[in-house]
Amino acid sequence: MTATLLQALLFQSGYNAALVSIGAALLGFAAGCTGAFTTLRRRALVSDAMAHATLPGIGLAFLVMAALGSDGRWLAGLLLGAGISAALGLMALNRLTRTRLPEDAAIGAVLSTFYGAGIVILTVIQNLSLGRPAGLESFLLGSTAGMLRDDALLVAGGGAVTLALLWLLRRALVMTAFDPAHARLMGIDTRAADMALLVLTLACVLLGLRVVGLILIVALLITPALAARLWSDRMSTVALLAGAIGAVSGHLGAALSVALPDLPTGPAIVLLAFAAFALSALIAPRRGLIARSIAHARLRARLAAGEQT
């Protein structure tokens, strides 16, 4: 297994596996960078609701494509359906929060309703013997096993576009996250900035559906950002570091699932990202547990010495 893993890490497990690995790394980078802004603007749970709201769209897109005579597994088509359904979920969320329902309750309602609807649609599809539905359930937890070259290229290209847009909008996004009122008075269209951030987050969700799966993609948005925040107080550094952590997790997780074919890709990537966070919480300078206990111990020693004299 170690040899296979090493091969996979060094892109030596064949052309497809290498593409998948690069795709997963780029997805991790895009999701990490984007997630730094998403968490900063406190939209982490909203992105989870969006992710779960993609499921009915995946099922319906499959049905439409199968009805049109294809095998219904064209990734771009499935992602289009997922995107539309996530957008509907977001609109439902906006309507619910306008009725004075607390946001967390509205998120819970939308998330579970859309997810439930998606599961019902998938179950119907399984019993229809239409197209080739095998593999649709891999959108739940992610699987790189059946990933095609075009799929990997889609993830890579989409990730690159997402990152470019994020870089262009970074100043407006940071100002909107820090002080929306001030940002508005400085001429920033904060509603547009918020919408753009949600679209970029949705893009990461969609790109990550195949690799990480819709249940866990939120972790790839949040966890690297949390880990990176422990290392730096500068937004640019936090975003880039979150991207790097996401990229390493993505690459390593994809390689692991090549070496261990039974291991679902999504959970592997997410656990690696969490490991990075746990390590950061332990050893990060100043904010890490170790640094903090050393600082406290030193202070206590100084105080004790002061008492004796």
Q: Which residues bind another protein (CB under 8 A)?
A: 40, 168-169, 171-172, 174-175, 177-179, 181-188, 229, 232-235, 237-238
Q: Are 267 and 275 in contact (CB under 8 A)?
A: no
Nearer to another protein, 134 or 299 (CB): 299
Q: How far is the CB of 183 from another protein (least distance, A)?
A: 8
Q: How far is the CB of 192 from another protein (least distance, A)?
A: 11
Q: How far is the CB of 169 from another protein (least distance, A)?
A: 7
- Alpha-carbon span 227 to 224, nearest angstrom: 5
- Alpha-carbon span 47 to 37, nearest angstrom: 12
Q: How far is the CB of 229 from another protein (least distance, A)?
A: 6
CA-to-CA separations, 170 to 165, 238, 239, in angstroms, rounded = 8, 12, 10
Nearer to another protein, 233 or 262 (CB): 233
- Alpha-carbon span 250 to 21, nearest angstrom: 7
Nearer to another protein, 202 or 238 (CB): 238
Q: Are 246 and 35 in contact (CB under 8 A)?
A: yes
Indicate the burial class of 277 (C-beta count within 10 angstroms; 0-12, 13-18, 19 or more): buried
Q: How far is the CB of 235 from another protein (least distance, A)?
A: 5
Q: Are 143 and 264 in contact (CB under 8 A)?
A: yes
Nearer to another protein, 165 or 263 (CB): 165
Nearer to another protein, 137 or 170 (CB): 170
